Amino acid sequence: MTPEEILKGLYDETLVGNGPKVLDLTQEALGLDMEPQSLLFDALIPSLEEVGARFERGDFFVPEMLIAGRAMAGAMEVLRPLLADTGVETVGKFLMGTVKGDVHDIGKNLVNIMLEGAGFEVIDLGVQVAPETFLAKIEEHQPDIVGFSAFLTTTMPMFKANINALQKAGMRDEVIVMVGGAPVTQEYADAVGADGYAADASGCVRKAKALLKEKRARVSA
């Protein structure tokens, strides 16, 4: 198969949720020395975007979304070490979780991989993380940054609930707060009082590094 055929195959098979085929194609692509980033950005992510569009139009339902998500997650397991393995030193500690009421984790996991690849130590709390769990884990791990991920307009208000909980516990100034997820915007992030927002994983890495640099400059001034 040519690289173009493999990318098209990955897109089509993710769309129909054919996990075993997506894994085979991922392995075949790597055997041909194709870039892991290309598989992600030229096939897997566009395919999930199409899944979302079809769901919105009523052409796909939750089961289709689920098997497509699983097919992508299977490929991510193979790509993960390749995306993260850049051998850089730890630049900071990042605590990440999907907010309470929300089970979407593919975007969050991708952000984690990119952060690890950029040298962050990442502590992943998983999905459906309640405010009190975030608080307890922040106390335990003392991260530089905490990231809240939400994929539903109905769970985005948990950002504010989490930030309020941090404030109430007197911990808001201890940690940089970043938010993200498909429906989140810069305006929404500003409105809830987050320190940073990014639309994608590479943007998150850039923003996290910039916020950390600012904070360290402030502390040493």
Site residues, ligand B12 (CB under 6 A): 45, 48-49, 51-52, 55-56, 62, 65-66, 69, 101-108, 110-111, 147-149, 151-153, 178-183, 198, 200-201, 204
The residue number whose beta carbon is nearest to ligand B12 equals 180
State the DSSP code for 173.
G
CB of 18 to ligand B12, least distance (A): 15
CB of 41 to ligand B12, least distance (A): 9
CB of 2 to ligand B12, least distance (A): 26
CB of 221 to ligand B12, least distance (A): 26
Of 131, 70, 139, which Cα lies nearest the Cα of 97? 131
Please identify, using beta-carbon distances, which residue of 55 and 123 lies nearer to ligand B12.
Answer: 55
Which run of H or of E encompasses 138? Answer: helix 131-141
Please identify, using beta-carbon distances, which residue of 5 and 77 lies nearer to ligand B12.
Answer: 77
Of 206, 210, 204, 11, which Cα lies nearest the Cα of 108? 204
Number of Cβ atoms within 10 Å of the Cβ of 106? 18
Q: Label residue 35 exposed, middle or buried (CB < 10 Å: 0-12, 13-18, 19+).
A: middle
CB of 108 to ligand B12, least distance (A): 5
Distance of alpha carbon 136 from alpha carbon 134, whole angstroms: 6
Please identify, using beta-carbon distances, which residue of 31 and 58 lies nearer to ligand B12.
Answer: 58
CB 13 within 8 A of CB 21: yes
What's the token pair of residue 31? Answer: 């055997």
Please identify, using beta-carbon distances, which residue of 117 and 181 lies nearer to ligand B12.
Answer: 181
Chain center to CA of 36 = 17
CB of 132 to ligand B12, least distance (A): 19
Which conformational region is residue 207 in: left (phi greater than 0), alpha (psi within -120 to 50 degrees), or beta? alpha
Please identify, using beta-carbon distances, which residue of 34 and 114 lies nearer to ligand B12.
Answer: 114
Please identify, using beta-carbon distances, which residue of 5 and 185 lies nearer to ligand B12.
Answer: 185
